[in-house]
């Protein structure tokens, strides 16, 4: 028996337009395969020209969010406005009116998930956000419904298409960071202000969501160690390739007992690792569970069509669900009392140091490493003029020992500075 479900879309930009396109062009397919007649009955956007651009009849344009909240015929509301406000206020209003909400807004979910879920519970509505992380790749559904039998021990991913595109261009074509960023902006992968992407904020928001779901406890985004890619040079990439590594901006989440490690930073990935071959704007998440072992989820991480696909997946899920499902942990935005977020962790490290080309400088640096219990796997030195660059690859060491060594190395008389410090994926 056919079921009609009315949908409203708040924000009809790139992603909202992609969602509208799927719901209209694949209408008959969804009706045949899912038994649901999806109708986009209202669209809210302050720019009427965008509504016209997508061929949406103007009689479907809503004047305010109150109009959508008050319309009892609307079952599901899609939010694709982005940002925190007014999206948060709008979503809370429609959730409290009893309407299911589907959103792709990772910043909003990572910062205000508890408040939104509280509004959903009060209104008896569902909150769905598959599209908030990794575009069209169904990683959230997998964590919530495919891997329940497992304790997830680690989650490592390339979950930002902009930075992966930039690093791929620098690696494969020898581009500078500035040139690769400019090309990413021209192609629409990077915003005019790329800070959220290139400084790792976008990845931290997503990791907060994914780690909370994977580890069944609240992982606040503010507690995630975060570094971006703006300091990565062509020299670093070349040295990494010579050592058998490709550089990626990784989101890393690990849990052992009640200790959780969450960090975002550029990482040298061994060439044989599946994540090393993930190029361009593609994303991938590598998950380990205690019974399923290793899994990798791979696909397009951004764009109107992949993100629209994930949104429509949530729309279908919400339309067919017997009732909403909420977090399976205390979702109050705070770290649980019994959980420890690691302030220290272990890794192998790549370090490039500029020094004066004088006798004894290498011995002085290695002496610092020895004092801080850092063992050296390999070392190379290149001279230029009156200076030199020494590149070290360490064995596994603690972050605290490495940082203490960096401070002491920069205090040596014959060293200038630590130019690069890049962690290596074990």
Catalytic residues: 206
Lookup result for tokens 């690069």:
420
Q: 303 and 290 in contact (C-beta within 8 Å)?
A: no
What does the buried/exposed string (b/e) look like for 34-52 if buried means 16 or more CB atoms within 10 Å of the residue's CB?
Answer: eebebbbbbbbbeeeebbe
Instruction: Classify residue 293 as exposed, middle or buried by CB count within 10 Å of its CB (0-12, 13-18, 19+).
Output: exposed
Contacts (Cβ under 8 Å, ≥6 apart) of 71: 8, 41, 42
Mutual angle of helices 106-123 and 87-96, in 10-degree steps: 20
Q: How far is CA 381 from the centre of its chain?
A: 36
Name the nearest CA neighbour of 66 among 90, 84, 38, 46.
90
DSSP 167-179: HHHHHHH---HHH
CA distance readout (Å), 193 to 162, 165, 283? 12, 16, 21
Q: What backbone torsions phi and psi does residue 140 show, to the nearest 5 degrees? A: -65, -45
Lookup result for tokens 């004092």:
371
* Dihedral Cα 115, 338, 210, 163, nearest 10 deg: 100
DSSP 252-291: EEEEETTEEEEEEEEEEEETTSGGGG--TTEEEEEEEETT
**Distance from C-alpha of 34 to C-alpha of 17, rounded to nearest angstrom:** 22
Name the nearest CA neighbour of 253 among 261, 243, 241, 265.
261
């Amino acid at each position: 028996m056919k079921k009609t479900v009315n949908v409203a879309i708040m924000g009809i930009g790139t992603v909202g337009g992609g969602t509208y396109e799927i719901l209209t062009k694949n209408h008959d397919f969804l009706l045949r395969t899912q038994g649901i007649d999806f109708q986009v009955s209202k669209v809210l956007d302050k720019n009427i020209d965008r509504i016209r651009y997508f061929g949406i009849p103007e009689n479907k344009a809503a004047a305010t969010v109150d109009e959508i909240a008050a319309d009892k015929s609307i079952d599901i509301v899609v939010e694709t406005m982005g940002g925190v406000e007014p999206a948060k206020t709008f979503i809370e209003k429609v959730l409290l009116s009893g309407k299911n909400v589907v959103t792709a807004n990772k910043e909003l979910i990572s910062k205000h998930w508890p408040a939104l879920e509280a509004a959903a519970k009060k209104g008896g509505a569902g909150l769905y956000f598959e599209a908030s992380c990794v575009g069209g790749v169904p990683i959230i559904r997998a964590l919530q419904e495919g891997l329940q039998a497992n304790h997830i021990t680690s989650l490592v991913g390339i979950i930002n298409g902009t930075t992966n595109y930039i690093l791929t261009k620098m690696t494969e074509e020898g581009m500078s960071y500035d040139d690769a960023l400019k090309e990413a902006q021209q192609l629409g992968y990077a915003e005019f202000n790329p800070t959220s992407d290139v400084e790792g904020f976008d990845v931290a928001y997503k990791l907060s969501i994914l780690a909370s779901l994977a580890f069944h406890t609240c992982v606040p985004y503010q507690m995630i160690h975060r570094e971006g890619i703006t300091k990565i040079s062509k020299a670093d990439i070349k040295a990494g390739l010579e050592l058998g590594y490709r550089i990626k901006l990784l989101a890393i989440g690990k849990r052992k007992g009640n200790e959780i490690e969450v960090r975002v930073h550029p990482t040298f990935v061994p060439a044989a690792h599946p994540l090393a071959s993930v190029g361009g704007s593609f994303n991938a998440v590598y998950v380990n569970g205690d019974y399923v072992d290793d899994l990798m989820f791979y696909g397009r991480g951004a764009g109107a069509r992949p993100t629209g696909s994930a949104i429509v997946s949530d729309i279908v899920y919400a339309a067919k669900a017997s009732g909403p499902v909420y977090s399976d942990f205390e979702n109050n935005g705070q770290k649980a009392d019994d959980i420890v977020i690691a302030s220290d962790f272990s890794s192998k490290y790549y370090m490039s140091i500029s020094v004066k080309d004088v006798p004894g400088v290498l011995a002085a640096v290695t002496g610092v490493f020895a004092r801080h219990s850092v063992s050296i796997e390999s070392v190379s030195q290149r001279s230029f003029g009156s200076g030199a660059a020494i590149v070290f690859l360490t064995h596994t060491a603690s972050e605290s020992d490495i940082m203490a060594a960096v401070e002491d190395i920069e205090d040596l008389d014959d060293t200038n500075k630590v130019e690069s410090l890049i962690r290596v994926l074990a």
